[in-house]
Structure 1
Amino acid sequence: MNPAADLGLSRTNPSAPSDPEAMNAQHLPGDLLRAVLHRLSPADVARAACVCRQWHAVASDRAVLEAAFRAPWGVRRVVGEPATRAFWRAASLGRFALSHTVRRSDSVPGIAVKYSVQVTDIKRFNNMMSDHGIYSRERLLIPISDPEILLGSTCYIEMDHNSKREVAVFYPEGHPTGNAESLANAAAGKKRSKRILESVKRSLHVDDGTAEYYLSVTDGDPRAAMMQFSEDLRWEQQQPGH
């Protein structure tokens, strides 16, 4: 059964129903029309918005858009407003991600094994050029490999500035954490870490990833990071072939 076809939503010309029955469908009572649109896919909801002014108003309603977006994956609720309405029309699994809080002992391969995803998929999803990029981040977005984890979940629409993408984020612990004070402290700490990173990078004449790595293995101590780098460089120079 195709609800869109039953209501005269032609794929070739959705704005012009071709028979009297479809014309009458344009004037469905608001509650009934809403119930019908709740059964449609995001693509068909977008087509429904082209039928007439009444349909456009209902098809543009936040509740209708959200229902079509979450229905394929069994998501219970989506919190937040996307930057554009186009977000709702692409209800693919790639619109969702799991939030993983980065710990000092983490590595990209280890995280990939934990969530049964590919290392390259994690790096691509998070806009990371190398595995060292993990050390400058508080969290990673993990592509969803098993859609069953979304069943009955609440997801939060967020713009992730590291990955430069807007996603519906699933938090295994249930919800985002942090209050205004902790967020302010985190922002201050991030600014301080950035200054230290720039200082180490200039001193060692290395790229961001290398500087981040040496800071991570020395607990953020810039002096110890430079000493460790010097030791490693000296060891490499002593190897045959150098």
Structure 2
Amino acid sequence: MGCCGEEEEDNLLHQPLILSPPPEFLETTATTAENLTISPMNSHFSALTCRDILRIIFEKLSTTDLACAACVCRIWSSVAADRDIQTAAFKSPWKLKEIVGNPTSGSFWRVSSLSKFAISHRILRGDSVASLAVKYSVQVMDIKRLNNMMSDHGIYSRERLLIPLNNPDILINSICYIELDVYAKRETAVVYLEGGPPVNKSSCSTSRATSDLSKRRVIESVRRSMQVDDEIARYYLSITDGDPRSAISEFSEDLRWERQTSLA
């Protein structure tokens, strides 16, 4: 039979060895775990910086999620800005067949709500805002608001009206045209129920608007140079076949003659 000291020593030999790691080891382990965290900003995780992998992931995102992904880093932003990815996310909820045209602002693709779409109605004789509201089952105020109209009389100065779309089934297998409406002053995904947009008429309208703007600029320039009103500027342009220099020269000659006559 052994002594008490020998029994205590024997018990210690059979106990598991548990040692507390030093503080330096714990700090090193925490730093290593932090570096291995999956993050697009972590240079060690190269999978989320590969454009091919990002494209596969982004093609499954909605327009709202794409907008959030574009805010993560430059690589994500460049991939999320791809036209094919954006249009696919925009078309997906409504089962659109195709989108024609490019918006002036990239923010157009961020929200794919029904308010982004409108039906193009070519105004015919006898049409009124109230009759169109009944025909398309929408509110009169919604038509006015979409087309930036203050009164019902605004319909007579336009060739078409944008009609709010309240039935998403119309968009199934449809072709939408991204257009900036001059009167509505907004970009809209327009649906033409009777075929596509009138290309020739649109080009003629654009040319006519450009021509009117150019004439207006010439009149403004001549008016400022001669320091007269618009009517006088138009008169001298008319007698000189629209030549600004000749118009100013004719006006100067008339002024000189008037001065000589008054002195005489």
Aligned AA (2:110): R
Could you say which structure has the larger radius of gyration?
A: 2
Pairing 1:26–2:48 present: yes
Output the CA distance in 1 between the equivalents of 2:203 and 2:86. 33
Identity of aligned residues (%): 53
CA distance in 1, matches of 2:190, 2:140: 19
| Equivalent residue number for residue 140 of structure 1 | 161
In structure 2, stretches of 5+ residues that fail to align are 1-35, 213-264
Q: State the Cα RMSD in Å.
A: 2.7
* TM-score w.r.t. length of structure 2: 0.59
Contact in 1 for aligned 2:120/2:162 (Cα 8 Å): yes
**Are residues 1:59 and 2:72 paired?**
no
Could you say what secondary structure the match of 2:199 adopts?
Answer: coil
Find the residue that maps to 1:20 and give its secondary structure: coil
The residue identity in structure 1 corresponding to 2:111 is A
Amino acid in the other structure paired with 1:19: T
Q: Does 2:182 match 1:161? A: yes
- Contact 2:91–2:97, Cα closer than 8 Å, also in 1: yes
Q: Deviations over 1:202-235 (max 9, x none)?
A: xxxxxxxxxxxxxxxxxxxxxxxxxxxxxxxxxx
Which stretches of structure 1, 4 residues or more, deviate above 6 A after TM superposition?
Answer: none
Amino acid of the residue matched to residue 20 of structure 1? I
**Structure with the largest fraction of helix:** 2
- The answer as to whether partners of 2:47 and 2:53 remain within 8 angstroms in 1 is no
Q: Which residue of 2 aligns with 1:99?
A: 120
Task: In structure 2, give the amino acid aligned to 1:152.
Answer: N
Q: Distance in 2 between matches of 1:90 and 1:123?
A: 23
**Alpha-carbon separation, structure 1, partners of 2:202 and 2:76:** 45
Q: 1:109 to 1:35 in 2, by over 3 A?
A: same
The answer to whether the 8 A contact 2:64-2:110 is kept is: yes
1:25 Cα deviation after fit: 4.4
Q: 1:126 aligns with which of 132, 147, 165?
A: 147
Aligned length: 173
Checking the alignment, whether the CA contact within 8 Å between 1:80 and 1:157 is kept in structure 2 is yes
What corresponds to 2:101 in structure 1?
80
1:169: how far off?
Answer: 0.6
Looking at structure 2, the residues matched to 25 and 168 of structure 1 have their Cα atoms a distance apart, in angstroms, of: 36
Are the structure 2 counterparts of residues 125 and 35 from structure 1 closer, same or farther at C-alpha, using a change threshold of 3 Å? Answer: same
Residue 108 of structure 1 corresponds to 129
Q: 1:50 to 1:186 in 2, by over 3 A?
A: closer
